[in-house]
Amino acid sequence: MSGVFRGRTSRRRALGGAAVCALALLAVPGCSADDDGRKDRAGGTTAADRRDGNGVEDLSAREISDRAKQELLDAKSVHIAVRETGADATRDASPDADPSPDSDADIEADDPTSMDLTLDRDGNCVGSMKMAGGASLELVKRGDKVWMKPDEQFWTTQIPGGEGEAAAEIFKNRWVHGTTGDAMLKDIAGVCDLGEIQRDIADDSADSDDDGKTLKKGEPTTQDGMPVIPLTGTDDGKETTLYVATEGKPYLVKAVEKGDGDDTTTTFSAYDEPVPTKTPSADESVDVSKLQEQLQKI
């Protein structure tokens, strides 16, 4: 059977990969004509810190990126939304379809192209994702317990023939429930680990090759009504803009990556806010063993 049940590492860490790509420029040397923010420090603050803002507008691009990266690495929880557009965001939804010869062979109809998850370091999460082929699912994870509710297109594209339609009817509007010990749920639940994402970001920074990369500070602006400072740069031929909050903590609030006809927008919000604890009721759920029984008939 194809799809999220194949246990692919790339899919298990898809969300982490998106975050790492968005933050690839946070570790590179900054280029800024205004380095006044490095002066007048007492206990790690500047004169600007003592005004209404958080002071990052007066820092160099490198210093701003360092602060934003550290806030993300220190976060106990965060809401991350990823959306891809372009050729890689749409694929033939057939389970047996081959990737286009002109496309990245690693991008298939069942790879996520958009995700919206609130997750924490304990592996709890609530959210949803949509695949390149158009199928989507909702996901809830609490401790080692996992609930997954795919839409009808998910079943018909993941399971070939009439069996997919049968599965769609059996599990319609119901959550498939199990634990991380169930092979069918372990892979998809892997996107819920904020700690793993943070480790990937730290490792990516440590291994970063700074040759040919620059990071420049732009003029203050707003994103979704929030005052931010943009940092722009290039990595592997793609242009990335990072938006860092200039009020409150210097959180990274948005990253936009453009290049090769494909764009990725990643937003970060609700830092350190608890993951919702509500889980689907027993009446709304069906044990994963019933799904396994259904798949054995295929």
273 contact partners, CB below 8 Å, separation of at least 6: 77, 79, 118
> Which two three-digit tokens encode residue 172?
């319609």
Q: Give 86 or 158, the one with higher predicted confidence.
A: 158
- Specify the DSSP class assigned to residue 183: H
Give 182-231 pLDDT, tens digit per residue.
Answer: 988 988 888 898 998 888 888 876 666 554 457 899 999 999 999 999 99
pLDDT for 110-136, tens place per residue? Answer: 677 889 999 999 999 999 999 888 899
What confidence category does residue 99 fall into, taking pLDDT thresholds of 50, 70 and 90? very low
Do the beta carbons of residue 103 and residue 92 sit within 8 Å?
no
Q: What is the pTM of this model?
A: 0.79
Residue 204 dihedral angles phi and psi, to the nearest 5°: -65, -40
User: How far, in Å, CA of 148 to CA of 141, rounded?
Assistant: 9
Mean pLDDT of the chain, nearest integer? 78
Tell me the pLDDT tens digit for each residue of 56-93: 999 999 999 999 999 999 999 999 999 988 755 554 44
- pLDDT value at residue 29: 45
Kindly report, residue by residue over 250-289, the tens digit of the pLDDT.
Answer: 999 999 999 877 888 999 999 999 999 999 999 999 999 8
Q: How far apart are CA 286 and CA 133, in angstroms?
A: 25
In the chain, the amino acid numbered 296 is Q
